[in-house]
Amino acid sequence: MKLGITMNTGRGVLAWDQTENAFYCTYHLPNSPVMVGVPHSKGCQSCVRRRIKCDERRPLCKRCETRGLQCPGYEKPTRFCHFSITQGDRQNALQSRPRKILRNDNVEGRSASNKDVAPSFDECVVPTLVQRSMCIQQKEVFGDFVDVNFPGLYYSWSSRMEVNFMEFMRQQSDTPTNALVWAASTLCTVNRGQRDQDRQQVDLGRAMYIRGIRTLIQLIQNPRTVKSDQTLGAAVLLGICEMIDGSFEQSWLAHSSGIAALFQHRGPEAHRDGVGRTLLISFRAFIVADSLLRGEPCFLAEPAWRAVIIQSMKQENERGKGSELGDLVEFAFHEITLCPGLVARVRDILAGKTIDPIQKKLLVGAVTTQISNLSKLHNRLSILFSQGIALESRPDLVGPIPRPVIHMLTKFSLQGINMAIDLLNRLLRSLSVHQTGSILDGNYYKQNFNQTCLASDRIIGEKLMEGPDELALSMGMLVLKQ
């Protein structure tokens, strides 16, 4: 072995073998003194390099002067060092035999096969360096995706949360096996492919989506991970991926029902604050939209879940993060969660499943109350919205909500409230017509009510493709026909 260039790696010596055109790395045992490229001779650097005896004349060597060379002097560029390695490295330390880590086959004109390709020098020192770097980079790419696709939803709540979604992402381990990081990579790849009209990129994202679903299934089947924040977060991101690139028409509904089941399995207390509340805010509007389309009550209308919304608002105000605008939006969502259940009850009456006059009367009262509550919130929010630019300079009204999203949040919240009120008024008219006996046909809901109150599948799909952020800010009500 003929060694040329040497380098101290902190755990051993990396040396270039001039004979075999390869790098070698020698690992040293703990607490052993190491001499790195330090010649034994006290001669000048030129004589040491030429391996001849130096006369050691100061300040310049006579041998160099005789040969007409400029003497480089006697100062040595390297020095002795003493170091120890950790217990974890102790198992990997080699006794004395050098380990070949990289061959330079190109020097001899040979082509290396894939199996001959060895890790880079950085990977030898930190084996997971490349993977960790890619995971860290992917988290920041996900931040760009959020800025472009969900600015209203994210920034309307991010400064008010104890842990916002990006902070939650950055807390994840930098490994490609992390389901949440993998789901984020899937979502960003699909979105980037659609944006650039790159079919290959989209196909790659879809392949990643399949792997993400398989990983999610494993997490759900494991009792130790089924209720974890990472599992729910991965499900949420994969659900959004299904919205922007559905495997079939309205496929996101199948996924959203699974996400709703995960929320219910975790229970309302898990979403009162912290990451749990962040995850609930990120997907709750889609849960309401899903319930409206299915014509089923929304679990968020249950007393325990409604109480979580009120208690979270109180905690937000106690931390100094509350505002009148934020409270009005939360109160509006608190009322809108009841709409899917009211739709389901009216549907049952129109279909002839409920014939009790008392139940009809109670239902009319419930719908009327909801219209009244939402109308009051609409009036108060309209007053804020009418102030326009002046609203941005009122911290007592907007709190920590960033200025760029104040108008967007107010606008689509008002639109969502308007559409909820319109839906409830249609329910009242339908109940009134049914009560007079003018329409007794059990197919009324199928032929009339569903067409006038709820959007068709095609319209829903277009809404989600055009603006999932707007759908979220409208509290899920943009699924209704306008």
For the residues 79-92, what does the mean pLDDT come to?
A: 44
How many residues does the structure list for the chain?
Answer: 482
What 3-state DSSP class applies to 177?
coil
Residue 414 pLDDT greater than 90, yes or no: yes
Residue 18, amino acid: Q
Residue 114 pLDDT greater than 80, yes or no: no
Task: Give domain limits for the chain.
Answer: 3-127, 134-479
DSSP annotation string for 334-358: HHHTTHHHHHHHHHHHHTTS---HH
Q: How far apart are CA 482 and CA 479, in angstroms?
A: 9
The larger pLDDT score, comparing residue 30 to residue 364, is at 364
Whose tokens are 């260039």? That residue is 5
Residue 121 pLDDT greater than 90, yes or no: no
Question: pLDDT tens-digit profile of 368-409?
Answer: 999 999 999 999 988 877 766 666 677 778 888 888 888 889
- Look at residue 347 in the predicted model and tell me its pLDDT: 85
Question: pLDDT tens-digit profile of 194-234?
Answer: 888 888 988 998 888 888 898 999 999 999 999 999 999 99
- Look at residue 38 in the predicted model and tell me its pLDDT: 44
pLDDT band at residue 435, thresholds of 50, 70 and 90?
low
Give the global pTM: 0.68
Encoded tokens for 341:
């259940």
Residue 245 pLDDT greater than 70, yes or no: yes
pLDDT band at residue 441, thresholds of 50, 70 and 90?
very low
Residue 151, amino acid: P
Number of Cβ atoms within 10 Å of the Cβ of 365: 10
Q: Is the dihedral of CA 472, 474, 480, 482 positive or negative?
A: negative
- Look at residue 177 in the predicted model and tell me its pLDDT: 65
Full 3-state SS string of 104-160 = CHHHHCCCCCHHHCCCCHHHHHCCCHHHHHHHHHHHHHHHHHHHHHCHHHHHHHHHH
Percent of the chain with pLDDT strictly greater than 90: 29
Mean pLDDT score of the chain: 75
For the residues 116-132, what does the mean pLDDT come to?
A: 49
User: Any bridge partners for residue 238, and if so which?
Assistant: none
Question: pLDDT tens-digit profile of 293-341?
Answer: 888 999 999 999 999 989 998 998 888 888 889 999 999 999 999 999 9
Residue 64 pLDDT greater than 90, yes or no: no
